[in-house]
Amino acid sequence: MTSWQGMHITVAGLGVSGVSAARALAGLGASVTVVDGGDSEALREKAAALESSTEGVRVRLGDGDTLPEGTDLIVTSPGWKPTSPLFAAAAEAGVDVVGDVEIAWRLRGRDGREAAAWLAVTGTNGKTTTTQMLASILRAAGLRTVAVGNIGTPIIDIVLGGEPYDVLAVELSSYQLHWAPSLRAHSAAVLNLAPDHLDWHGSMEAYAADKGRIYEGNRVACVYNAADKATEDLVREADVEEGCRAIGFTLGTPGPSQLGVVEGILVDRAFVENRQKNAQELAEVADVNPPAPHNIANALAAAALARAFGVPPKAVRDGLRAFRPDAHRIEHVADVDGVAYVDDSKATNTHAAEASLAAYESIVWIAGGLAKGATFDELVSKSAKRLRGVVLIGADRALIREALARHAPEVPVVDLERTDTGAMLAAVREAKRLAAAGDTVLLAPACASMDMFTNYNKRGDAFAEAVSELASADG
């Protein structure tokens, strides 16, 4: 769009992305109404602050269903479901609905400078880590970059800011992709696909289709997981620019047009001359922090996107060495009496927990919480041989206990009935009792945290505090 002046835009949601979109669009001359179904004291304070600081914005609380009169376009926050009454009213009125990522894409390059390229990442698990790894690699190559999107600063703020970035590392959720029909990345990666957010999308097919939108119009590379055929199928179905290549990554020996691992070395057989015969060393497995299998896969995906942008091998190595993962992602907390305690509270679904469990040989597993409709038979059957013991917490722990009875009946299980936050200390004490020297006590809940904790960060913090108390008592 060439001008936003005089447009009447409704922004759905008073969250971080909604406030960012409202301010940006009002600054471009649009008349903006922000709607939100909530009406708490905190929301009223936020609404008052937005209205007083931004001319052209008004906020309507307590009604997120009614379409404001005269609306020309709706800009939605990612979490709003496509079935929302507001969007049904918009469809009836012939009003388009897009997301903040779509607006950012339309706004890029407005200052006359060449717009920064977008290297985009999605997947059920590993998005944030891969995007941060990618940004670290790009910085190591001397490029001006930042990790944005479903992570950190809203992407609209970056696009309209004054910093002249060379390239953006963009994490995108399935929600954001659903509402971004015009997005055309330089290169993009789908890390993996497993059932998630099906209540929002309606089906696994719809969820996968929204993930696959990230490949549409790619110019240089569509990066897929060679171990996850569904990601390759999305590449095959995508409508890309002529010359765009399919680039796989694998934990095994790579074939032509793939990145993989050979004798502890990350190697590239995609962005080299004569890829039928040649391979380029990029980094050692030991350069990946932590070197768990699923995190090595993340590193290969990040390296593939960086190499698609022309980054040299040395920058891949240096960027991976410099990268430090966020808290609560297979984070080593402490060693107590020869037992390692690892916090992967971010493993909030079975796919993430399976990857975490695969990283260790002998595990006392702390699991449970809100299952969100998940089943656990496949997870338990695949991981049973690694389990020395299990400690269950949370509202839906019975689902995991039943799967353990079916697929790992010989594994001792402690079922903690209490669901208050203090249950974590009890869980860690029970895990210590079950563990032997050389084992790993692993918090990888495979469930959401909101039955006991505000979020997965608070759950991980409680685990770390319990381990600290355990260590102090033993010391």
Q: Confirm whether residue 2 is marked as ligand binding.
A: no
Residue 76 is assigned to a ligand binding site: no
Identify residue 452 by its one-letter amino acid code.
M
β-pairing, 387-392 vs 413-415, is parallel
The enclosing H or E element of 131 equals helix 127-140
State yes or no: 394 annotated in a binding site: no
Rounded CA separation 248/254 (Å): 8
C-beta separation of 302 from 439 below 8 A:
no
CB count within 10 Å of CB 61 equals: 17
Residue 124 marked ligand-binding: yes
Burial letters 396-409, b for 16+ CB under 10 A, else e = bbebbbebbeebbe
| Enclosing H/E stretch for 349 | none
CA atoms of 270 and 435, how far apart (whole Å): 44
Parallel, antiparallel, or unpaired for β 265-268 and 280-284? Answer: antiparallel
Tokens at 433, concatenated: 């009792």
Q: How far apart are CA 437 and CA 463, in angstroms?
A: 19
* 125 marked as part of a ligand binding site: yes
CA distance 315 to 319: 6
Residue type at 354 in one-letter notation: E
For every residue of 361-421, DSSP letters joined together read SSEEEEE-SB-TT---HHHHHHHGGGEEEEEE-STTHHHHHHHHHHH-TTS-EEE----ST
109 three-class SS: coil
Find out whether 438 is annotated in a ligand binding site. Answer: no
The per-residue DSSP string of 429-469 comes to HHHHHH--TT-EEEE--SSBSTTTSSSHHHHHHHHHHHHHH
> 203: helix, coil or strand?
coil
Tell me whether residue 338 is annotated as binding.
no
- Distance set, CA 218 to CA 66, 120, 140, 358 (Å): 37, 10, 24, 33
Query: In whole angstroms, what is the distance from residue 251 CA to residue 273 CA?
Result: 22
- Annotated binding-site residue numbers: 123-129
- Annotated binding-site residue numbers for ATP: 123-129
